[in-house]
Chains A and B, each alone.
Chain A
Amino acid sequence: MTVKDKQSLSLTRRSLLGGAAALSTASVLKSAGASEANPDNLPPNVPEWTPYLGAGVDANPYGMPSEFESHVVRRNVEWLTASTESSVNFTPLHELDGFVTPNGLCFERHHGGVPEVNPTDYRLMINGLVDRELIFTLDDLRRFPQTNRFYFLECAANGGMEWRGAQLNGCQFTFGMVHNVQYTGVRLSDICREVGVKPNAKWVLAEGSDSAGMNRSIPMEKILDDCMVAYAMNGEALRPEQGYPARLVVPGWEGNMWVKWLRRLEFGDMPYMAREETSKYTDLMKDGKARMFTWVMDAKSVVTSPCPEKALMSKGTQTLKGLAWSGRGKITRVDVSLDGGRNWQISELHGPVLDKSLTRFTLPFNWNGEEMLIQSRAIDETGYVQPTIQQLQAERGLSSVYHNNSIATWMVNKDGSVDNVRLG
């Protein structure tokens, strides 16, 4: 048996081997942005951009990042899925600072492509066990009382390829199915009041208007607790790929439930057992039984620099950067180890530390040119401690796919390059 065989995630084995055959060359990611400086632009010379006028205010009606940042993009793994319309791409976490994800870099996961919904023709239907079955326009939604909240959204399959071993050599590909934006929208509890939910309504089926007709069952307690119908992210209309013009927000719970292009909410007295909550998004255990309705995203963290895409360029003073989050509440502490988990230091959290939101942490360290095994470990306000992969495997086996929130290890090599490795 080859290493590939041993470490491949069986559920995607065929695609994995196909991908391995197709990609015969080394796959270490280059560290972007390391172009040579032009001495003519350096002191004491006057740089080339100084003597002349730059672009006017009419040049970029919708501003875009500097052309020198063109490498900061979402990326996908072609061999993972059968088509790009039912697929995923990944947020470049290693290129970002702070805790807000720019709208154009929020990872995408669609099951039937991105529909082009005309907002004039947008309707949200509420039916089932309610006093009044109603249809809302986008204008109706905007007239409801408004709420603005930061929340992370993480796909339950984030890190799924890493269950059986270190597979993808990048922070982006192993942790990038998460993003964090400020949502503006309507509380579901207000919509519930407007339609008059009947006492026997215990579940809500949320349904999208995309070609997948994405549908998920959500328990009534969660709907009334903190769910929203959002129409804006980071201050502007939702991006098409994030559900324009309106999506469901299910704070702290797996991203698949945050139905995009939301067209309907049906209230019922039992779960609907949709494809995505039975055949998918269930977690197969060692004995062949599967956990179902595993909605919460447990606490997790990742070091975003250094990482496989962010090599150490020189010895001496460094700043380690990372992100942590928990679906159960606020992050209270993130520990960092430089020796593979034997000894830990407490990192600095950068506020605001919000409920169910990404939280930035940093730690200064010195690199003397020796190998290091970097890890981070998040702890949330419930006392939950981010587990090791060995702890998860002992509890759940090797076939779970979803909900891998284990501690990753970045190995810094003597030349400063960084590898995703598995310790054992």
Chain B
Amino acid sequence: MSDLARILKKGLMASVICAPLAMATNASAEQRPFGLGDIATAEQVAGWDIDVRPDGLGAPIGTGNAFDGEEVYADRCASCHGDFGEAVDNWPVLVGGEGTLASHDPVKTTGSYWPYASTMYDYIYRAMPFGEAQSLTHDETYQIVAYLLYMNDIIDDEFEVNQDNIGTIEMPNRDGFMLPDPRPDAQPISGLACMKDCDVPTNVIGRARDIDVTPEEES
């Protein structure tokens, strides 16, 4: 039900944007350039179209708050990410890190780094829990998103995250990204590569051998 509703919403937005072109749809195979493939039904698309965009497009109907999310998180997430998002072993840290991005040891978490709450929904639903992809209900996913937002001091514990506001939640690092790509960068001032008697440092200041973290070859 909710999947279909979501797809109808997507389709509605598409048709509003491009109403003049809507008549060209669903040409039969013979009328297409190569005549390959089958028309995808709304039901087929609904089953696979799971992405959620920053503007909330694609967000399935559902709701969740941090209070309920704590239990879901403890059950489905904490074994890798820690009870408070602090992470176990090498698994990703999910909470904290504010003010560290310009430091020598930046901590990139959903709170300190992720620019959109929609990405949390999109990723958690499609890929988490690790090894149990697409097994959470929509409500459970909203609950986990809400719990992480709450733990990062972005919402309070009663705030209901749902399909209508997932695209409007303001993330702290929303403006932390730069576009477009400024490369190519780091080029020689002359534009040309020096070939002879170049002024470069040639003292050995570090050896990987001394760091000693390279795996040994198996015998």
Which residues from chain A sit less than 8 Å from chain B, CB to CB? 3-4, 7, 10-11, 13-16, 18-20, 23, 25-30, 32, 71, 75-79, 81-83, 85-86, 111-112, 125-129, 131-137, 140, 143-145, 165-170, 173, 190, 193-196, 198-200, 205, 207, 211-213, 215, 263-264, 266, 268-270, 272-275, 278-279, 282, 284-296, 298, 308, 328, 335, 339-344, 373, 377, 379, 382-385, 387-388, 390-392, 394-396, 398-399, 403, 411, 419-424
Residues of A contacting B205 with CB < 8 Å? Answer: 165, 422-424
**Which residues of chain A are near B105, meaning CB under 8 Å?**
10, 13
The answer to whether A77 and B215 touch (CB under 8 A), given A213-B50, A419-B207, A423-B200, is: yes
B121-149 interface with A by 8 A CB criterion: 122-123, 126-127, 130-131, 133-134
Q: Which of A127, A207, A287, A341 contacts B200 (CB 8 A)?
A: A341
Inter-chain CA distance A399–B108, complex, in Å, is: 11
- Which residue of the partner chain A has the closest CB to B196? A343
Q: Are A125 and B44 in contact (CB under 8 A)?
A: yes
Q: How many residues of B contact A (CB 8 A)?
A: 92
18 pairs, A vs B, C-beta closer than 8 Å? A11-B106, A23-B213, A32-B217, A129-B18, A131-B27, A132-B39, A135-B38, A167-B211, A270-B53, A272-B51, A278-B115, A286-B102, A288-B102, A343-B197, A373-B204, A421-B208, A423-B201, A424-B205
A interface footprint on B71-112 (CB within 8 Å = 1, 0 otherwise) = 000000000100000000111000000000111111010100
Contact B34 A79 (CB under 8 A): no
Identify the 9 closest CB pairs spanning chains A and B, nearest first. A288-B102, A213-B126, A340-B202, A82-B90, A288-B101, A169-B208, A424-B205, A134-B37, A275-B123
Given A341-B198, A385-B188, A132-B206 contact (CB < 8 Å): no
Cross-interface CB contact of A385 among B123, B187, B208, cutoff 8 Å: B187
Task: Say yes or no: A289 contacts B176, CB within 8 Å.
Answer: yes
Residues of chain B within 8 A of A29, CB atoms compared: 214, 216-217
Give the distance to chain A from B23, nearest Cβ to Cβ, in Å: 9
Docked Cα-Cα span, A282 to B177, in Å, equals 8
Cβ-neighbour of B210 out of A3, A127, A136, A194 (below 8 A): A3
* Nearest CB of B to A311, in Å: 13
Instruction: Report the minimum CB–CB distance from B32 to chain A (whole Å).
Output: 5
The residue of chain A having its C-beta at the shortest distance from the C-beta of B192 within the complex is A385
Q: Is the CB of A132 within 8 A of B32?
A: yes
| Chain B residues packing against A (C-beta within 8 Å) | 10, 14, 17-18, 21, 24-27, 32-34, 36-40, 44-45, 48-51, 53-55, 57, 80, 89-91, 101-106, 108, 110, 113-116, 118-119, 122-123, 126-127, 130-131, 133-134, 176-188, 191-198, 200-217
Contact B119 A274 (CB under 8 A): yes
Report the number of A-B residue pairs with Cβ-Cβ less than 8 Å: 329
Q: How far is the CA of A76 from the CA of B119 in the complex (A)?
A: 29
In the complex, what residues of A have CB within 8 A of residue B18's CB? 129, 198-200
CB closest chain-A residue, reference B23? A131
- Report yes or no: B36 in contact with A279, Cβ–Cβ below 8 A: no
Additional A-B contacts beyond A170-B214, A279-B110 (15; CB < 8 A): A20-B212, A129-B14, A134-B37, A135-B38, A135-B44, A143-B34, A194-B36, A273-B115, A274-B51, A274-B123, A285-B178, A287-B102, A290-B101, A398-B104, A423-B203
